[in-house]
């Protein structure tokens, strides 16, 4: 998710809060933001911590890092050794400069965004800063230590291993994070609200990413998904169902768009493609209707381009 989604005002005392506190057996910390249902993520092992898309507000950065650095730790706090930025949308970059000394990992295409793209992304972040009072925290383009292509592996702490997979679709620069020991996929902006895919790039590429995740879910024991926004998916079946629902919705939109007469007026085409998504889901998109409309536009644009 980048822009255009709903935001809620901060509710002191309740936000941000720990969704997953991290335990000896499951050292994964998830902090829920007051904005965009954002999830900040930390993982500890031994004396080290890895953070993923660290948080929108100073309070979230503090809570996630403090919890991951100090939970069940006798003596000196753990150090934030690695920082993974899944993609170059401003909500995922925010706070990246708050941990000097951490090695910063990012997909190569995200790290090498040209200057004009960087300006656009940071400007979108500044618009969020003005809209959400009291939030968010520092936003600057990160200095990336480790650019990766298709895959990368990070070993840290007491033999913890984490895999980074480049998976464009949500954007052209998105990646996801696989935690083998936790059987957990940190899915960035995939599966943020199953049934309303958050496509901010090409719909066909988003569908390809979902297909790849589905294939991975058949090979690997993905028992939990932590998206960057929204609720966690628990259990292999829930993960599979979420992927199939998103794929089904995009497929229904595409089938509808392909079946339209080329002369169909644009407004009617849009309405019918959105209706196809509603019919497949069995419900409207509710607060996410703007994203539903946006998905329809992207699908229609692709189908029209394929006819030209
Ligand atoms: Fe996002
Ligand atoms: Fe995003």
Q: Which ligand is nearest to the CA of 199?
A: 2
Residue 137 has a pLDDT of 65
DSSP 210-224: HHHHHHHHHHS---E
Q: How far is the CA of 2 from the centre of ligand 1 (A)?
A: 5
Task: Band the pLDDT of 297: cuts 50, 70, 90.
Answer: very high
Residues 221-239 have pLDDT tens digits of 999 999 999 999 999 999 9
CATH assignment, 17-189: 3.60.15.10
Say how many Å lie between the CA of residue 61 and the centre of ligand 2: 18
**Which band of pLDDT confidence, cut at 50, 70 and 90, is reported for residue 133?**
low
Q: Domain ranges in the chain?
A: 17-189
Mean of the per-residue pLDDT values for the chain? 93
E-state strands within 102-179: 103-107, 146-148, 151-156, 160-166, 175-179
Residue 158 neighbours by CB distance under 10 Å: 9
Ligand 1 geometric centre to CA of 265 (Å): 33
- Residue 126: per-residue pLDDT: 87
Percent of the chain with pLDDT over 70: 93
pLDDT the model gives residue 129: 78
Is the model's pLDDT at 9 over the cut of 60? no
Would you state the pLDDT for residue 224?
98
pLDDT > 90? residue 131: no
Q: What tens digit of pLDDT does each residue of 12-27 get?
A: 446 789 999 999 999 9
Residue 227 Cα to ligand 2 middle (Å): 11
Give the model's pLDDT for residue 128.
82
Distance 198 CA to ligand 2 centre (A): 8
How many Å lie between the centroid of ligand 2 and the Cα of residue 77? 31
pLDDT score for 265? 97
Minimum mean pLDDT among 84-93, 130-139, 146-155, 177-186: which range?
130-139
pLDDT at 62 over 80: yes
The closest of 195, 239, 235 to 213, measured between CA atoms, is 239
Please, what is the angle between helix 203-219 and helix 289-307, to 10°? 110
> Edge-to-edge, what's the strand order for the sheet holding 39-45?
17-20, 28-32, 39-45, 48-52, 79-84, 103-107, 146-148
Q: Quote the ligand 2 centre to 40 CA distance (angstroms).
A: 14
């Amino acid at each position: 998710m980048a822009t255009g989604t709903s935001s809620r005002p901060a509710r002191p005392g309740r936000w941000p809060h720990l969704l997953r506190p991290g335990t000896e057996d499951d050292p994964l910390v998830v902090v829920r933001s007051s904005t965009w249902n954002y999830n900040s993520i930390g993982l500890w092992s031994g004396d080290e911590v890895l953070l993923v898309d660290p948080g929108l507000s100073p309070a979230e950065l503090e809570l996630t890092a403090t919890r991951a650095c100090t939970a069940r730790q006798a003596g000196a706090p753990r150090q934030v050794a690695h920082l993974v930025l899944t993609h170059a949308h401003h909500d995922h970059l925010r706070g990246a400069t708050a941990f000097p000394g951490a090695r910063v990992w990012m997909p190569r295409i995200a790290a090498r965004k040209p200057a004009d793209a960087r300006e656009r992304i940071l400007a979108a972040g500044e618009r969020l800063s003005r809209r959400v009072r009291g939030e968010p925290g520092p936003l600057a383009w990160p200095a990336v230590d480790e650019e990766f292509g298709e895959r990368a592996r990070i070993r840290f702490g007491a033999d913890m291993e984490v895999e980074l997979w480049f998976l464009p679709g949500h954007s052209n620069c998105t990646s996801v994070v696989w935690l083998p020991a936790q059987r957990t996929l940190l899915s960035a902006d995939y599966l943020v609200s199953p049934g309303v895919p958050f496509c901010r790039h090409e719909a066909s590429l988003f569908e390809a990413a979902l297909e790849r995740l589905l294939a991975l879910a058949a090979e690997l024991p993905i028992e939990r998904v932590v998206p960057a926004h929204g609720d966690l998916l628990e259990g292999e079946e829930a993960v599979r169902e979420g992927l199939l629902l998103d794929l089904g919705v995009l497929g229904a939109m595409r089938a509808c768009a392909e079946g339209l007469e080329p002369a169909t007026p644009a407004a009617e085409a849009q309405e019918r493609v959105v209706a196809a998504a509603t019919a497949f889901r069995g419900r409207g998109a509710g607060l996410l209707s703007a994203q539903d409309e946006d998905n329809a536009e992207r699908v229609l644009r692709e189908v029209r381009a394929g006819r030209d």
